[in-house]
Amino acid sequence: LIKFDNHATSCYDQILVSLGSIASRCFGMSKNVTLVWAKTLESAKYKLRMNSDVTEEYYKHCKTYRIHGSGQGSANSPCLWLFISSVLIDQCETSA
């Protein structure tokens, strides 16, 4: 009997955009698509929602406060994580 605990909370928020872009390119994603994705994340403004209210203030990526990851609610996050984990698993098999 095998017990598997996949505690992946916030893993999408920790993906480096550069690493995600490289992994995506390894699986044939267009350079233009990866650039659009990276630029979108770089220029995104994040606001806080509390109940039904959304704050006017926002935070965003900058050199002092870098924001990584595609976000927990992003539709492409599972695919991006699949690309990265596949590259890592392939590397482990090559090195083993």
Q: Is 43 helix (H, G, I), strand (E, B) or coil?
A: helix
**Rounded mean pLDDT, 54-70:** 88
Measured CA distances, 19 to 16, 29, 30, 64, 79 (Å): 5, 13, 15, 20, 13
Do 83 and 72 touch, CB atoms closer than 8 A?
no
Question: Per-residue confidence at 72, pLDDT binned at 50, 70, 90?
Answer: low
Question: Per-residue confidence at 36, pLDDT binned at 50, 70, 90?
Answer: very high
The answer to whether residue 34 scores a pLDDT higher than 90 is yes
**Rounded mean pLDDT, 67-87:** 84
pTM of the model as a whole: 0.72
The answer to whether residue 4 scores a pLDDT higher than 70 is no
- For the chain, the distance separating the N- and C-terminal CA atoms, rounded to the nearest angstrom, is 25
